[in-house]
Amino acid sequence: MRQLAIIPHPDVKITLFSWNGKYLIKLEKGPFEQTYKVSELDLTGEEDIHLLLDQEFVQAAVQRFVGMQQDLQAAFDRHGI
């Protein structure tokens, strides 16, 4: 796996990798991460990744992180951990 770029964003850490004919877009916030795999054949180049990472996409990912935190906390609460 080869790291291609770290894409600055104020709310999440975004890292772009290339691996096995795919771009991997990794978003991290606190202890959580989301990885999106996109075939290199579906894009004309690395520049297209920046187009995909528009405000709407990143905002939805941030909301997903909130949901992930809520799900984990709910599991802790159910089991008294």
pLDDT digits (tens, 9 = 90+) for 7-18: 999 999 999 999
Q: Distance between CA 59 and CA 11 in Å, rounded?
A: 9
Answer whether 0.75 is exceeded by the pTM: yes
Which helix (H) or strand (E) covers residue 28, if one does? strand 22-29
| Chain centre to alpha carbon of residue 20 | 18
Q: How confident is the model at residue 45 (pLDDT cuts 50, 70, 90)?
A: confident
> What average pLDDT does range 22-49 have in this prediction?
95
10 Å CB burial of residue 48 (0-12, 13-18, 19+) is middle
DSSP secondary structure code for residue 1 in this structure: -
What ranges do the domains of the chain cover? Answer: 2-79
Q: How confident is the model at residue 78 (pLDDT cuts 50, 70, 90)?
A: very high
